[in-house]
Structure 1
Amino acid sequence: MINVVWLKRDFRLNDHAPLYYSQKHPEPTLFLYVIEPSYWQLEDTSARQFTFISESIRSYAKGLEKLGGFLCVRRGDVVDVLSKIHHKYPIRRLFCHQETGNNWTFKRDKAVFSWCREKNVQVFESKQQAVFRGKLNRDHWQALTSEWIESDLLSVPSKVNSLLNFHSGLHLLESYPGNDVLIAKGAQQGGINKANSTLQSFFEQRIKNYLFGISSPVKSITCSSRLSPYLCYGVLSLRAVIQQASELQIDRRHKSGFLARLYWHSHFMQKLESDTSYETHAVHRSLVGLRKGEFDHQNFERWKNAQTGVPFVDACMRMLLQCGWINFRMRAMLVAYASYHLWLDWTKTAAFLASTFVDYEPGIHYPQVQMQSGTTGINPFRIYNPVTQGQRFDPKGEFIRRYVPELSHVPDCFVHTPWLYPSLKTDCYDKPALLPDDAARQAKQRITQYYKIHVNQSETHRVIKKHASRRNRQSKKPKLSNHNNDQLSLF
């Protein structure tokens, strides 16, 4: 008989419940990661994510080996892989972390746990975020979260009882099973050493300017934590990072701002855990038809390829495509521009953006996309003015010129609105199909008209009861505005 530690998005040794509890039993443990080709064929996955995961798994394997443990990597369907293992080495217990992923991983987990019940394999599933399964009264979430975050961290075993005495299948990580070529040349690297050095440099230096630069696509590179991919794939323990941050002796504003965002990390993931339809349908049922039947494929392609004709929007998208990361405010602007100015259905833009993010966390991504697209029914409509945003965060156009070199000849006074520049080289950079102010005005008219006919207030109250933060309850009708104020910036 053996135990299995099934790795999914938890590539670390410290504060790792499956590893810790598996060693409380006498049976040897098989440490398993399965590369699932079907997952990597999805629209919201990409080569850049696989590269980061592969780097993190190799780092994990090195750390595990120092404890006397060895990693088994296989490729295929998890149930099929477990069945083959069970046939040769009967599995007694399966240890894993709870995952709040997309619908595909949710169905995959259900299939695995069903197989375990059929084979009488005990399942031990542990939390790695403050996310709670089953029926949840949202009024109790904050107390449950605090209790989990303040609980003791789990230590790394001094030695592990491993089934294998060598790593098996690591070479499979060299072959990406998907079809896309969305590689980010400037992406962060995976692995525990990179994670720890990023965490250390943030706590020692960058956090001192945290709130001063997280909204700017330029300053955020050196002011934000840059921990998101390491938390996303469990290379770092969220609970450990929160506890360490709480002990820092630094300016209270920056520490509180960072800690608040770590709490919001689980707050948004709880939304998807409580309602899996966040990925596919408007959470406010009255708003399901808001943009249906009006999808402009040409606008979608221009947005995806950073050719909208709005310089700040295109520069942000090009940075994201190149680096696999951009700060939260600019992510919000990209979503809002697609949803309002281009009037694109959020489900398609959400899947594409997910694939561009190295730090794609479904539980944060889909609730945020719906919030920025105006389909929650309980949040203000965030119609960002992309020209104003650019002038505020890139007044001299240095960021724009770095990523949109076609505008290098345009003077500062026209770089945010090149369609007004008489000498613009139109053969290399087109003006937007509809100017931002006109597009925003049109979006407001559509929303106002739709609300008058379709929105049900009882549905709004249902969404508030199930998903709204209890810190600031509001049941008012969402407001229409050009959004220029600072937003919550996750990492």
Structure 2
Amino acid sequence: MKTNLIWFRNDLRIMDNPALEKACEDKDASVIGLYIATPQQWKAHDMSARQACFIHDRLIQLQDELDALNIPLLFHSCDSFTDCVNVIVDLCKEYSVNQIFYNNQYEYNERERDYLLKGKLSPDIECLEFDGNLFTAPLTILNSQKQMYKIFTPFRNAFLDQFVQNIPRIYNQPKAIKKTKIKTHKIPEFDYAKQDYEFFNPNTQKALQKLEEFCAEKVEDYADKRNIPSLDHTSQLSAYLALGVLSVRQCFHYLTQEHPHFWENQKSGAFTWFNELIWREFYQHLIVAHPYLCKHKPFINWTDHVKWKNNKDHFEQWKAGNTGYPIIDAAMRQLNQTGWMHNRLRMIIASFLVKDLLIDWRWGEQYFMSQLTDGDLAANNGGWQWAASTGTDSTPYFRIFNPTTQGKRFDPKGEFIRQWIPELAKVPDKFIHEPQLWSEKKGNITEYPQPIVTHDIAKKKL
């Protein structure tokens, strides 16, 4: 009997999974699922303990879902991607595998791993690759010189021109296939640190429910309310997309059920959210076109020679949420306690680290990956380089967010600040963004630090 192996990576779902659908097309073939944990590789890539915990919880759910389809999910753990290749080669021999199916990953080490695998497999074993986690395959949206776009807006316009002419379909969830005699075992604990995460549920139906409710109830006001951190008005689907619990195609199809042809009104909340999914696409395409982005290199070469201050004490205070700037500190405390941060706040705190404190953006990028449940190299790197003025489409180096002004604009009454900084709970709205002024008058919040730098002075040093 023919045997197909479906290798799960960051596509931990049975719905809208092209690799899984294709692996199950031949009704006479048996299908085996596989997931390989690589803890040492995760450490090298700064994966957070929260994300590892979420992956583990999701694998338990996925194993049950595959079991209902009579597809066993095997689990292996090894140190590195090189060892991972050896595991697959051995499994192919053990189970007489004829074909391997997987959805592509685009990071440099992952692509090198897949290339190595193809070279080690027996010539009669075929690898079938799919672009299951994006709308379009990388390097298919190019400018007139047949090169990857360097600026987002022309990329988006070209993307939309292609997209609306050939809207991608949702891949079918396979039906149950013939049962195999392969026994599976409960997913063991990872040899990795564990930490609880918030906001995300590893259950497929819970994730789909969250997507459906967002498209039906919140997306219409998304453009107006997405920047207000005290409101629950972002999708909070990022971890599902990062690990492939949900796909971008599912997001699009749920969105069009509620808002057909939303792309015809680019000022709508629906289009504004879809635009964020295109940003995600853009960053994924960029790391394929420019692999050095995966190697801690800036997109703009000359910025690699910037002389950073890299004050370690300032960095520790930034990490802990003790900078003396309430909106910065509330954002960092939210990250540290939950493993997630509101997107507007990500921009504000990144600007502060890089341009107020003059600390290398790579320090911030690494710290984010070590904390985030939704850590995604392409998006995280793209966002940090945008804020640092080292990346594609980035803000000019002389543009710097004023943390006090940003706080007043997006959290005017300090509702978000008070949620995460209890020592400021009694500070009046008038002083919530500059509590040192209140402290001078009342002398009653000495437990909250003074600003570690003065923004107006820091700005002049850029």
**Could you state the TM-score of these two structures normalised by the residue count of structure 1?**
0.82
Tell me: CA distance 1:333–1:110, structure 2 relative to 1, closer, same or farther (3 Å): farther
User: C-alpha separation between the residues in 1 aligned to 2:378 and 2:410?
Assistant: 28
User: C-alpha separation between the residues in 2 aligned to 1:164 and 1:19?
Assistant: 20
Deviation string, structure 1 residues 127-165 (Cα, Å, up to 9, x no partner): 020353469734576358517961332212222345455
Aligned residue type for 1:442: K
Q: Which one of 411, 414, 420 corresponds to residue 428 of structure 2?
A: 411
Q: Which one of 422, 430, 436 corresponds to residue 455 of structure 2?
A: 436
SS at match of 2:100: strand
Tell me: CA distance 1:162–1:96, structure 2 relative to 1, closer, same or farther (3 Å): farther
Q: Which one of 114, 124, 127 corresponds to residue 119 of structure 2?
A: 114
Deviation string, structure 1 residues 329-386 (Cα, Å, up to 9, x no partner): 1111111111101111111210111222211121211122111111127533341111
Partner of 2:170: 153
**Structure 1 position 338 matched with structure 2 position 342:** no
Aligned residue type for 2:299: V
Partner of 1:465: none
User: C-alpha separation between the residues in 1 aligned to 2:363 and 2:223?
Assistant: 32
Partner of 1:245: 255
Q: Which one of 125, 131, 135 corresponds to residue 129 of structure 2?
A: 125
C-alpha contact 1:2 1:29 (8 A) present in aligned 2: yes
User: C-alpha separation between the residues in 1 aligned to 2:166 and 2:237?
Assistant: 18
In structure 2, runs of 5+ residues without a counterpart are 147-154
Tell me: CA distance 1:424–1:319, structure 2 relative to 1, closer, same or farther (3 Å): farther
Deviation of 1:401 after TM superposition, in Å, equals 1.8
Deviation of 1:42 after TM superposition, in Å, equals 2.6
* Residue pairs, 1:14-163, within 5 angstroms: 14-25=15-26, 26-42=28-44, 44-76=46-78, 77-101=83-107, 103-116=108-121, 120-128=124-132, 129-133=134-138, 137-139=142-144, 142=158, 146=163, 150-161=167-178, 163=180
Tell me: CA distance 1:332–1:69, structure 2 relative to 1, closer, same or farther (3 Å): same
**Structure 1 position 192 matched with structure 2 position 204:** yes
Tell me: CA distance 1:377–1:48, structure 2 relative to 1, closer, same or farther (3 Å): closer
User: C-alpha separation between the residues in 2 aligned to 1:329 and 1:375?
Assistant: 19
User: C-alpha separation between the residues in 2 aligned to 1:346 and 1:235?
Assistant: 29
Tell me: CA distance 1:428–1:184, structure 2 relative to 1, closer, same or farther (3 Å): farther
Aligned residue type for 1:288: D
User: C-alpha separation between the residues in 2 aligned to 1:241 and 1:378?
Assistant: 25
Deviation of 1:184 after TM superposition, in Å, equals 4.3
Q: Which one of 290, 299, 302 corresponds to residue 283 of structure 1?
A: 299
Tell me: CA distance 1:149–1:291, structure 2 relative to 1, closer, same or farther (3 Å): farther
Deviation of 1:98 after TM superposition, in Å, equals 0.6
What's the C-alpha RMSD, in Å, of the aligned pairs?
Answer: 2.5
Partner of 2:151: none
Partner of 1:470: none
Deviation string, structure 1 residues 403-423 (Cα, Å, up to 9, x no partner): 111223433322211233314
SS at match of 1:366: helix
Q: Which one of 219, 223, 229 corresponds to residue 211 of structure 1?
A: 223
C-alpha contact 1:282 1:375 (8 A) present in aligned 2: yes
User: C-alpha separation between the residues in 1 aligned to 2:86 and 2:337?
Assistant: 37
SS at match of 1:178: coil
Deviation of 1:125 after TM superposition, in Å, equals 0.7
Sequence identity, in percent?
24
Deviation string, structure 1 residues 388-410 (Cα, Å, up to 9, x no partner): 11111222222212211122343
Q: Which one of 357, 361, 367 corresponds to residue 382 of structure 2?
A: 367
User: C-alpha separation between the residues in 1 aligned to 2:139 and 2:273?
Assistant: 29
**Structure 1 position 178 matched with structure 2 position 192:** yes
User: C-alpha separation between the residues in 2 aligned to 1:135 and 1:229?
Assistant: 26
In structure 1, runs of 5+ residues without a counterpart are 444-491
* Residue pairs, 1:322-471, within 5 angstroms: 322-376=337-391, 378-381=393-396, 382-420=399-437, 421-422=439-440, 423-424=442-443, 428-443=447-462
User: C-alpha separation between the residues in 1 aligned to 2:166 and 2:53?
Assistant: 30
User: C-alpha separation between the residues in 1 aligned to 2:280 and 2:393?
Assistant: 19
Q: Which one of 270, 285, 307 corresponds to residue 270 of structure 1?
A: 285
User: C-alpha separation between the residues in 2 aligned to 1:323 and 1:390?
Assistant: 21
C-alpha contact 2:6 2:101 (8 A) present in aligned 1: yes
User: C-alpha separation between the residues in 2 aligned to 1:32 and 1:161?
Assistant: 17
C-alpha contact 1:69 1:164 (8 A) present in aligned 2: no
Bigger CA drift: 238-247 or 308-317?
238-247
C-alpha contact 2:70 2:180 (8 A) present in aligned 1: no
Deviation string, structure 1 residues 53-86 (Cα, Å, up to 9, x no partner): 1222222222212222221111113123213313
Tell me: CA distance 1:147–1:127, structure 2 relative to 1, closer, same or farther (3 Å): farther
Tell me: CA distance 1:78–1:377, structure 2 relative to 1, closer, same or farther (3 Å): closer
Partner of 1:317: 332
Deviation string, structure 1 residues 159-215 (Cα, Å, up to 9, x no partner): 2345455433x331xx23234x6x345342223122111012112212232122111
Tell me: CA distance 1:47–1:187, structure 2 relative to 1, closer, same or farther (3 Å): farther
Deviation of 1:229 after TM superposition, in Å, equals 1.4
User: C-alpha separation between the residues in 2 aligned to 1:307 and 1:289?
Assistant: 29
Deviation string, structure 1 residues 302-352 (Cα, Å, up to 9, x no partner): 111111121110001111222222221111111111110111111121011
SS at match of 1:5: strand
Deviation string, structure 1 residues 242-284 (Cα, Å, up to 9, x no partner): 1331232488512222222222221121111211222311111
SS at match of 1:315: helix
SS at match of 1:205: helix
**Could you state the TM-score of these two structures normalised by the residue count of structure 2?**
0.86
Aligned residue type for 1:330: L
